[in-house]
């Protein structure tokens, strides 16, 4: 296991953001996130609403082009959308720093197996040394748990060094467990399988997690066939002491939105255009309809320049549009 993580020497003045808007509700949010004097100078205070009592609080963080794409086809690594902004290189640095700011308050990070294939042998850590120090002072480990998500296990890169270098969990289906048993290289123990919440023994989940913590990889199995149950996953993680999690897996982000389980998203806006068949969030997955879809309101808007903006959204569910939807002409 890695005990010292790589760091980036951030120039806080160069990445300082201008706050354009902040929702009044943020002022009364009860949970202050991990922050530093420097982070407050760059972004302002980071606060979160009341956390759910029965599941993990979820937040996503992505950067998109002006047409909503999250990857170039010729170079699909996520950070390239920001790094490809030739008008504002420091804005791209600020984008990655915001990801670090959100990671600093997260107990776990959801990472997609597909993303790991595109960005192999990386680390999910806090690259800002001062934020890492503040995180440890707050009683958290240096880096969050990494939860590797796969529906059927076939896309998991079992040889990726991330799995050896920091604490991870696997989140997959009953069919995925069969694949994982054949491919996993480390000691593990199975949490589940669970189809219904009534099957969960909270004391057993908590006891086994503490007994195996940092010794064996927890493999969370929920759902049926090749489908997982995100409600049960977040319930199990809460029992393991995972109060907050950042979602960095685009497909899982889309799935959580469909289940009404994504609480917020920081969506940074790099003013570049991609077009064509490049992928966006939820690529290849069923879209939501004009009647049934998630809604959001803005928690904050920041800018670094006229070419880079940073939006923090809070999601609302079970909201329906009213009246006739269509042309009025």
Provide mean pLDDT across the span 88-115.
95
Distance of CA 135 to the CA centre of its chain: 17
pLDDT digits (tens, 9 = 90+) for 31-85: 999 999 999 999 999 999 999 999 999 999 999 999 999 999 999 888 899 999 9
pLDDT in the model for residue 23: 98
pLDDT in the model for residue 326: 84
CB within 8 Å of 214: residues ≥ 6 apart: 1, 167
| Cα 45 to Cα 34, 35, 80, distances in angstroms | 9, 7, 28
Distance of CA 24 to the CA centre of its chain: 25
pLDDT in the model for residue 242: 98
pLDDT digits (tens, 9 = 90+) for 190-209: 999 999 999 999 999 999 99
Crossing angle (nearest 10°) for helices 230-239 and 202-212: 60
Mean pLDDT for all residues in the chain: 95
| More confident call, 279 vs 30 | 30
pLDDT digits (tens, 9 = 90+) for 36-50: 999 999 999 999 999
Provide mean pLDDT across the span 10-26.
98
Is residue 149 predicted with pLDDT exceeding 80? Answer: yes
DSSP string, 96-156: HHHHHHHHHT-SEEEEEHHHHHHTTT---S---HHHHHHHHHTT--SS-EEEEE-SSSTT-
In 23-56, DSSP assigns E strands to: 31-32, 47-48
pLDDT band of residue 279 (cuts 50, 70, 90) is confident
Helix (H) or strand (E) holding 190: strand 188-194
Provide mean pLDDT across the span 104-129.
90
Contact, 274 vs 69, CB < 8 A? yes
Let me know if 10 is exposed, middle or buried by CB neighbors in 10 A (0-12, 13-18, 19+).
Answer: buried
Please tell me what DSSP assigns to residue 18: E
Is residue 212 predicted with pLDDT exceeding 90? Answer: yes
Crossing angle (nearest 10°) for helices 89-104 and 129-137: 10
CB within 8 Å of 112: residues ≥ 6 apart: 148, 149, 150, 248, 249, 250, 251, 252
Q: What is the fold of 18-316? A: Dihydrofolate Reductase, subunit A (3.40.430)
What is the percent of the chain with per-residue pLDDT over 70, rounded to a whole number? 100
pLDDT in the model for residue 200: 97
């Amino acid at each position: 296991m890695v005990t010292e993580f790589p760091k980036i020497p951030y120039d806080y003045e160069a990445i300082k953001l201008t706050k354009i808007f902040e929702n009044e509700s943020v002022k009364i949010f009860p949970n202050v996130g991990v922050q530093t004097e420097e982070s407050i100078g760059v972004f302002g205070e980071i606060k979160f609403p009341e956390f759910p009592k029965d599941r993990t609080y979820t937040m996503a963080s992505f950067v998109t082009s002006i047409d909503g794409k999250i990857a170039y086809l010729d170079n699909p690594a996520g950070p390239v959308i920001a790094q490809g902004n030739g008008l504002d290189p420091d804005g791209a640095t600020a984008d990655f720093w915001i990801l670090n700011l959100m990671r600093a308050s997260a107990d776990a990070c959801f990472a997609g197996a597909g993303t790991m294939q595109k960005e192999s042998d990386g680390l999910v850590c806090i690259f800002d040394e001062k934020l890492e120090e503040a995180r440890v002072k707050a009683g958290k480990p240096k880096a969050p748990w990494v939860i590797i998500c796969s529906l059927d296990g076939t896309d998991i890169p079992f040889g990726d060094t991330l799995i050896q270098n920091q604490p991870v969990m696997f989140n997959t289906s009953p069919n995925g467990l069969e694949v994982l048993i054949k491919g996993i290289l480390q000691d593990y123990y199975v949490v589940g399988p669970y189809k219904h919440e009534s099957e969960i023994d909270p004391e057993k989940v908590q006891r086994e997690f503490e007994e195996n913590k940092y010794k064996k990889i927890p493999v969370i199995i929920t759902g049926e066939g090749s489908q997982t149950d995100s409600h049960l996953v977040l319930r199990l993680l809460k029992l393991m002491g995972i109060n907050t999690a950042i979602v960095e897996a685009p497909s899982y982000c889309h799935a959580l939105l469909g289940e009404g389980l994504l609480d917020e998203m920081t969506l940074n806006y790099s003013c570049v255009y991609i077009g064509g068949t490049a992928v966006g969030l939820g690529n290849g997955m069923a879209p939501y309809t004009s009647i049934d879809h998630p809604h959001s309101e803005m928690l904050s808007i920041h800018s670094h320049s006229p070419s880079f903006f940073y939006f923090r959204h809070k999601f609302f569910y079970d909201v329906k549009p009213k009246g006739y939807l269509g042309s009025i002409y």
